[in-house]
Amino acid sequence: MLLLAAASPLLLEAGWRAWVVASAPGAEPGAFTVLAVGGSGMRGAYVEPRMSIPSTVEWMLGGNAGGRRIVTHVLADHGHSIYPQAVLLERALAGRGDAGPGVVLVYSGHNEGIGPDAADSPAGGASFLEREVESRSWLVRDLAFLARERGWLDRRRDLRTTEHWLRRVAWTARDHGLVPILASEPSNVGGIEPNVREDADAAAVRAAVESGDEESWLRRAGDQAAGALFLYLAGKARRARGAAEGARGLLLRAIDRDPRNHFGRATSAQHDLVRRVAAEEGVPLVDAPAVLAAASPDGIPDGGLFGDGHHPGAEGYRLIAAAFAARVAEVGGDPAPPRASAPLVEVEAALGVTPSDRRDAAVRYGSWLVATAAMHPWPDDRLALAGTRFREALDASPDDPSALLGVAIAQAGRAGGLLRDREALDALHRWHVFYSDRFCVPPEERAAAMRRLGEAGADGAILARLDASKGVACGP
C-alpha cells in the first residue's frame, strides 16, 4: 500500500503528460513554424483574424521563410498576460521535441496589470510554486493555471513575476529549436487621458482642469488619485508650446503613474524589461514603442496609429508587423521582405479587409473609448477620439445607426456629462454600447434616448440622421 501511495503522484503525472502530448498540435514536416503569443493586440483588434500581427507577417514574407512554407499557430487571446500565454506555449509544444525551424512572436504588456506601486516595489517575484514546482510538474502547473484563472489562487502582478514568465517563454521556445522574438506593447501616448482613481473628488479635479495651466497642473502632479491626469495635461500644454521632448517625458510619466482601473498600458519599466531580457537571452527584439514613436509627430504616438488607448489602428498594425517580418526574415536567413514596405491600402486589399470590416473596427474602437470614459472626471480626449472613430465608421457606412448613436453619445458625454450619470450608464449597458460593434436600443426606450441625448448636447443633425435610420432597434 505504501508503495502504491508513493507511486500514485508519479502515475498521475505520467498520465497527465501523456494526455497533454496527445492533445498538442503536431509539427508539420518541412514547415517553418510561427507561434504567436500575447493578448488582443497580437490577435488583431483591428480586423481579427485577417489583419492580425501574425497574418500580416506571413503575407509580408510571401508565405515562406527559410525556404519553407510558414505554418502559423495563434495562441494569443483577449485579456491574456504573459503568464497564461507561457503555459499555453508549453502545452502547444508538448512532446514535439525540436520543433524548429521557426519562431515564437511575443507581443505582450498591457494586460500585466502592474500598477505604479507594484512597478516600483523591490518585493514580489515568482513564488516558490511557480519557480520550482510548476516548472517541473505539468500536472501542478495546469492545476495552478486553472486555480488562477478561476480566482482560487492569487496571481502576483509585478515586474519580477512578469520577467519570470517572459524568460520562461524564451526558454520554452529555444528548448524546442524555435527562436523567440520579443516585443513590448506600445500605446497611445498623446491622445488619451490616464485613468483617475475612484476615490478622487471628481468635481475638484474638473475645477482644477478647467482653471489650470501647465504650471498649476505640474504642481498637482503629486496627487495620488489624479496626478497622472495632471501630468498628461501638463505634457499636452508643453507640446502645444513646442517643447516636444519635455512633453514626451511628461506623457510617458503619466502612463507610468496611471492607476489602471479602467484599462492598462505597458509602462516604461516594462519596455525596459523586455529590452533587457532580449539582450540577456541573446534573442531578437522588436522595439515596437520605438517603431511607432519614430513614425509619429514629435515622437509621440496618438490616435493616428492607435484605434483607442492601446490597440493599434490599421497603420499601427502594418508598422509593427513589418518590424516582426524583418526579424523573421533574419532568422530564416532570407533577404529583407519586400512586402514589409507595402502601403496600407495594398496590405488591406491582400488580406481581404472590407469596408464592413473597417466599419466594425471603428465602432469597436469608439465603443472601447466610451466605455473607459465612464465616470472619468475629464474624459475630453477619449470622447473626441471616440467621435472620430464613429465618424470613420460613417465614412464606410453612411447610415449606420450604431455609428450615428456613437457620435451622439460622444458629443453628449463631452458637453453634458452623460457618462458621469449612473442612470445613463445603466441605459448604455442595456444598449450594448460598451465593448461592442453593434448597439441596440429597445423600441420602448427610443424616444426617451433621443430626448436625453439632445438635452445632454448631442448635435441635432446627428440626431435627425439617427431618427431617420429608425434608431438602433433590437430584435430581428
Q: What does CATH list as the number for 12-188+267-350?
A: 3.40.50.1110
Residue type at position 334: D
Distance between CA atoms of residues 367 and 433, nearest Å? 6
Secondary structure letter of residue 312 according to DSSP = B
Evaluated on CA atoms 236, 242, 245, 246, the torsion sign reads negative
Secondary structure letter of residue 181 according to DSSP = E
Please tell me the pTM assigned to this model.
Answer: 0.94
pLDDT tens per residue across all 476 residues of the chain: 555 455 577 888 888 888 888 888 877 888 999 999 999 999 998 998 899 999 999 999 999 999 999 999 999 999 999 999 999 999 999 978 776 799 999 999 999 988 786 654 555 677 887 877 788 888 888 888 889 888 888 888 899 999 999 999 999 999 999 999 999 999 999 999 999 999 999 999 999 999 999 999 999 999 999 999 999 999 999 999 999 999 999 999 999 999 998 899 999 999 999 999 999 999 999 999 999 999 999 999 999 999 999 999 999 999 999 999 999 999 999 999 989 999 999 999 999 999 999 999 999 999 999 999 999 999 999 999 999 999 999 999 999 999 999 999 999 999 888 999 999 999 999 999 999 999 988 888 888 999 999 999 999 999 999 888 866 656 54
Residue pair 292/316 in contact (Cβ under 8 Å)? The answer is yes
Residue type at position 162: T
The burial of 88, by beta-carbon neighbours within 10 Å (0-12 exposed, 13-18 middle, 19 or more buried), is given as: middle
Q: What is the dihedral of CA 426, 430, 436, 441, to 10 degrees?
A: -120
Secondary structure letter of residue 132 according to DSSP = I
Q: What is the dihedral of CA 377, 381, 387, 391, to 10 degrees?
A: -170
CA distances, 363 to each of 129, 245, 248, 474 (Å)? 43, 33, 29, 17
In the three-class reduction of DSSP (H, G, I as helix; E, B as strand; rest coil), residue 339 is classed as helix
Secondary structure letter of residue 419 according to DSSP = G
Distance between CA atoms of residues 216 and 105, nearest Å? 44
Q: How many CB atoms lie within 10 A of CB 82?
A: 26
Residue 360 sits at the vertex; the CA angle it makes with 397 and 388, to the nearest 5 degrees, is 70
Residue in this structure with the C-alpha cell 477619449, named with its chain if needed: 382
Structure confidence at residue 4 (pLDDT):
46
Please, where in the chain does CATH 3.40.50.1110 lie? 12-188+267-350
In the three-class reduction of DSSP (H, G, I as helix; E, B as strand; rest coil), residue 463 is classed as helix
Q: How many CB atoms lie within 10 A of CB 350?
A: 15
Structure confidence at residue 476 (pLDDT):
46
Distance, C-alpha 383 to centroid of its chain: 19
In the three-class reduction of DSSP (H, G, I as helix; E, B as strand; rest coil), residue 74 is classed as strand
Distance, C-alpha 244 to centroid of its chain: 26
Distance between CA atoms of residues 24 and 21, nearest Å? 5
**What residues pair up with 65 in beta bridges, in sequence order?**
68
Q: How many CB atoms lie within 10 A of CB 9?
A: 12
- Number of alpha carbons in the 13 Å side-chain half-sphere of residue 204: 9
**What residues pair up with 473 in beta bridges, in sequence order?**
441
Which of 356, 357, 365 is CA-nearest to residue 434?
365
Residue pair 187/310 in contact (Cβ under 8 Å)? The answer is yes
Which of 420, 471, 414, 421 is CA-nearest to residue 448?
471
